[in-house]
Structure 1
Amino acid sequence: MKFIISLAFLFSTLFSFNIDISDSTIVNGRTSIIEFYKEKNTEYKKILIEKKSYKIYDHPIDASKMYVLVPISYYEKPNDKKVEVIYKENGKQKSKTLFFHIEDGKYKKEKIEVQKSKVTLNKKDKERASMEYAEAMKIYAASTDKAQMSSKFIAPMDSKITSSFGKARVYNDTLNGYHSGTDYRAKVGTPIKATNDGTVVLAKDRFYSGGTVILDHGHGIYTCYYHMSDFSVKNGDRVNKSDVIGLSGESGRVTGPHLHFSARVGGEQVDPLQLIELLNKKLF
C-alpha cells in the first residue's frame, strides 16, 4: 500500500492530475490498472502503448474516478514499457509519459497428448480454425463505453484448478503456444456460471475450444468459457452474475472433461484470475 501511495504522490507532483497505479512492475500475461481522479477542466482520453490504444473509462461505481487497464502480452520480453497518457486540459490536448517495468513470468512447460488431427490439421480444419480465430479477434477488438459489471467477479465454478495460465503447451512433443487460461476440474454436465453481468457475444461450437461462450462485460473486458457440452444462452442475451450459462464438457481439443476459463482486455489475452483479483480489489 505504501508503494502505491508513494507512486500516486510522485505522479501527482509530475502531472497536472492525480493518479493511482496498482503496480508499475507487471509480469508478462498480466494486467495493471491506472486510476485517474477527476479534476476540473481535465478530460482523460486514452493511453498509448506503442501502436496500441486503450480508452480511459468512467469508473463503474465511483463517479469521482476514471480508469484504464494496462494488459501485457504473454510474449512480451523483460523491458521498460512506455505508456503515454493522452488528455485534454482546458480544451488543449496534452500527453504525459509513464514507464512500466515488464518481468518474465517464468512459466513452466506442460506436455499434453491429444488426437493427431487436433495438432496436424487438414486443409478444411485449418480454414475453419482460421475463420473462427478471425471472428473472435473481431469481437475482442470492439469495446463499449458502458460497463455492465457493477460488483465483484466470481469464479465460474467451485472446483479444483488443474492447470494455470501461462504454461507452455507441448502437444505430442511439439511446442505449440501456451495455456491461455485457467482449467477447472469438471465432469461432463457441471453447471458453469457467468463470472459477472454481461452480454453474450458468441455462443457456438468451435474447432479448438469446442462449445464456447464469450461474455462482454463492457470497457473491453471479455471472459470466455470453453469445451462446454451444452450452453443455455445465445448471441445477444444479457446475463447476470452467477447465471448458469451452460454445462462443462470435453469438446474441442482436450484430453478429458474440464472447463477452460480465459479473459481478454483490450484484445490482449491475460491471466483471468489475476485480472479478476485486480478488478475486485481496485474497482469493487
Structure 2
Amino acid sequence: MKKILTLIFCFFTCVFGAQEIKLIKGQAIFLELEKNNFIELKNQNKTIPTFNHPKNKNKILAIFALPYKNPPKSTKLIAIYKNKQQEFIINALEGNYKSEKIQVAKNKIFPPKNVQERIKKELQEANAIYTSYTPKALYDGTFTIPLTSFITSDFGKARVFNNQVASYHSGTDFRAASGTPIYAANSGIVKIAKNRYYSGNSVVIDHGFGIYSQYYHLSKINVKKGQKVKKGKLIGLSGATGRVSGPHLHFGIFAAQKQVDPLDFVKKFNALFNEI
C-alpha cells in the first residue's frame, strides 16, 4: 500500500498536467514557463532555447513555430523542472490563407544555368545564418513595422507565378514607391546586405534569440554586413529588384528556425512588454 501511494505521489509531482494549444501553420507562439527550478524544454530529443521574460522576472520564454508547408498535426513539448514536468500539446491549424496570381520576368521562374550556382550559394548562406543562434537579446524593446502603407500581399498567400510555378508568400508586402525610406524594425546586427537573385537587394538583421527580420527588393542598401544598427535606423530604400511585379517592400520575420507571419509575430512579441 505504501508503494502504491508513493507511485501516485510521484505521478502528480512529476507530471504537471498537459496544456493543449492551437496554432496556425506559419505562426509562432511564446511559451511562458516558470523560472524557478526550471531545467530545460524538450521537443523529443531536441532542447528548445529559452530566455528571460522582458517584464516578468519569475518567467522565462521559449519560441515555438510551425512551418507553413506540411506542419506536424501535433507536437508535444515537455518542460522539465527539478520536481515536475509540464506538457504542451501544439495542434496545427490550416488557417485562412488566400491565393493570388503574379506575372514576373520569365528568367525569375526558370533561371538560366549560369545563375543556378549563385542561387544555390545564396540559399546556403541564408540557411547557415538562420540555423545559427545568438544567445542574447540584441533587440531594444518592442518591434516596429517598417511601413504602415497598404498591404498588397499578406503572408501565406498561395502564389502561382506566370500560371506555372506554385509557391507561397513568406512575408508581408507593403505598397511603396521606389525610393521610400525603410527603417530597421528593431536593433540588431546586419547578417545580409547584398543583392540576391530572387529577393533582390536584401537586408537581414539578427535580433538575438533566433529572431531575424528581412527587408527585400530594395533599390538601395544603406548598411553593411556585420554592422550594428539601432531600431529606426535607415537601412535602405524600397524598390523593385529581384522577383517582383512592381516596387514594394517585402517584410519578413524568421524565428525558431521557421519563416513566420511577421505581423502576427510582432503583435505577440510586443504584447510581452505589456505584461506585469
Taking structure 2 as the reference length, the TM-score comes to 0.88
Change (3 A) 1:114 1:273: same
CA contact (8 A) 2:17 2:86 kept: no
Q: Which residue of 2 aligns with 1:109?
A: 99
Change (3 A) 1:36 1:17: farther
Q: Secondary structure at the match of 1:205?
A: strand
Give, as a single letter, the amino acid of the residue that structure 2 aligns with 1:27: I
Q: Which residue of 2 aligns with 1:82?
A: 76
Q: Which residue of 1 aligns with 2:204?
A: 214
Once residues 17 and 53 of structure 2 are traced to their aligned partners in structure 1, the CA distance between those partners, rounded to angstroms, is 15
Report how many residues are paired: 263
CA contact (8 A) 2:14 2:85 kept: no
Q: Which residue of 1 aligns with 2:114?
A: 124
Give, as a single letter, the amino acid of the residue that structure 2 aligns with 1:172: N
Q: Is 1:163 aligned to 2:153, yes or no?
A: yes
Paired residues for 1:42-57 under 5 Å: 42-48=37-43, 53-57=47-51
Q: Which residue of 2 aligns with 1:134?
A: 124
Post-superposition offset of 1:95: 5.4
Which aligned segments of 4 or more residues in structure 1 are displaced greater than 6 angstroms? 13-19
Q: Which residue of 1 aligns with 2:4?
A: none
Give the alignment partner of residue 273 of structure 1, picking from 255, 263, 271.
Answer: 263
RMSD (CA atoms) = 2.3
Once residues 51 and 137 of structure 1 are traced to their aligned partners in structure 2, the CA distance between those partners, rounded to angstroms, is 22
Q: Is 1:147 aligned to 2:141, yes or no?
A: no
Once residues 269 and 77 of structure 1 are traced to their aligned partners in structure 2, the CA distance between those partners, rounded to angstroms, is 12
Post-superposition offset of 1:59: 2.1
CA contact (8 A) 2:171 2:253 kept: yes
Once residues 235 and 250 of structure 1 are traced to their aligned partners in structure 2, the CA distance between those partners, rounded to angstroms, is 21
Give, as a single letter, the amino acid of the residue that structure 2 aligns with 1:222: Y
CA contact (8 A) 1:198 1:238 kept: yes
Q: Which residue of 1 aligns with 2:33?
A: 36
Q: Which residue of 2 aligns with 1:6?
A: none
Percent identity between matched residues is 40
Q: Is 1:181 aligned to 2:155, yes or no?
A: no
Change (3 A) 1:95 1:131: farther
Post-superposition offset of 1:127: 1.3
Post-superposition offset of 1:152: 1.4
Q: Which residue of 1 aligns with 2:248?
A: 258
Q: Which runs of no fewer than 5 residues in structure 1 stay unpaired?
A: 1-12
Once residues 91 and 17 of structure 2 are traced to their aligned partners in structure 1, the CA distance between those partners, rounded to angstroms, is 21
Give, as a single letter, the amino acid of the residue that structure 1 aligns with 2:261: D
Q: Which runs of no fewer than 5 residues in structure 2 stay unpaired?
A: 1-11
Taking structure 1 as the reference length, the TM-score comes to 0.85
CA contact (8 A) 1:34 1:69 kept: yes
